[in-house]
Amino acid sequence: MKIAVLGSGAWGTALATHAGREHAVSLWSRDAAQAQAMQADRVNARYLPDCPFSDGLTVTAAPLGAWLQDMDLVVIATPMRALRQVLTDVSPWVQARVPVVWLCKGFEAGADGMGRMGHEVCAQVAPQLLGGVLSGPSFAQEVAMGQPAALVAASAHASVRETLVQAFHRGNLRVYANADVVGVEVGGAVKNVLAIATGLCDGLKLGLNARAALITRGLAEMTRLGVALGAHSETFMGLSGLGDLVLTATGDLSRNRQVGLALAQGLTVAQAVEALGHVAEGLDCARTVVQRANQLGVEMPIAQSVVGLLDGALSPQQAVAQLMGRDAKQEL
C-alpha cells in the first residue's frame, strides 16, 4: 500500500513511522529544509528525536499535486485550522476511490462563528472525497516507539474504514472501525478542552476526588453535545470518548493538560503556549465547542469555565468556585 501523510508534526511522523514498517509511506513537510534534514538523518529531530524512521518511510516537500495520484491512502496530519486548505489543495489530485482521512481533533473556528467538525469542513470544500477520521487515545511518542495502543477509524464509507485498518492495524497498534463519525470527532475535540480543565485542577492541587469528578462530569458534557449533534451515546464510552479523555486529562505527555498546569501556576495563556512549544488543539477549539453547544442549547459548564479562563474573564480560583457554586441537580 502507498500512503501519503501530509504534515510532519509529532503525530503525523509517529503514524508514518508505524505504517512504514509494512507499507511505502511518503511523509510530507511544508518546509523543504526540514524535509531534507529528516530524510538525511532518518529522524524528526524536532518532535521525536529518539524515534528513528522505519525503512518504508521517505520524506518529501514536493508541492501537493500529481504525485498524490499514485497513493492508496492520503492522511492529513495538520492542525484543525489548516484542514480546510489542505483538503482544497489535495482534492483535485486524489483518485475517486482513494480515502482521504484526517487526524486533527477540534472544531474549526469559522468566520461565521459556526464551529465545524472535520467531516463538515470536508463536505463544504471537497464533498466528492471519501473522507474519514483516525482518532483515539494515542501519544505520538509511544506509538512511534512501538508501544501498545488502540485507535478508532471512523467514516460513513466502509471502504475507508477497511483501508485504515489495513494501513495501521499491525504489531502493537490495534484499529477498531466505527461508522459514527460525529461521535468520534466530538470526543476528539471536547476531550482537549476538558484536559485543560483537569490540568488546572491538578495544578491547583485540588485532589484526586476533584480530578475524578471533573473527568466524569466532563464525559457527561461531551456526550450531551455529541448526542445533540447526532452521535450515538455509546461511542463516548469507547476509545474516542472515555479512552481519549482519560489519556489526555491524566497523561503528562498531553499538551492540553500541560496548558492547564501552566495556568494554575499563574502563567498567561501566551506564556503557557510559548513554554509548550507545540500546538494544543484545546486552545483553538474551546470557544467553538462552547459556541456550538450554545447554538444547540446544550449545557457545558466545564467547557464554559475553560473559555472564561482562556479569555481572562476568570482566574483559576474563580473558575473552580464557579463550578463548585452551581445549584444541585440530578446526575443524569
Q: How far apart are CA 273 and CA 275, in angstroms?
A: 5
Q: What are phi and psi of 114, to 5 degrees?
A: -100, 110
* Cβ–Cβ < 8 Å for 286, 303: yes
Q: Please list, in sequence order, all residues whose beta carbon lies within 8 angstroms of the beta carbon of residue 205, skipping any fewer than 6 positions away.
A: none
Beta bridge mates, 24? 2
* Cβ–Cβ < 8 Å for 182, 230: yes
Alpha-carbon distances, residue 193 vs 171, 227, 254, 274 (angstroms): 31, 18, 12, 18
Map residue 151 onto helix, strand or coil.
strand
Q: Please list, in sequence order, all residues whose beta carbon lies within 8 angstroms of the beta carbon of residue 22, skipping any fewer than 6 positions away.
A: 56, 170
The percent of the chain in helix, strand and coil, each rounded to the nearest 5, is 50, 15, 35
Provide the annotated active-site residues.
Answer: 191
Conformation bin of residue 230: beta by default, left when phi > 0, alpha when psi is -120 to 50:
left
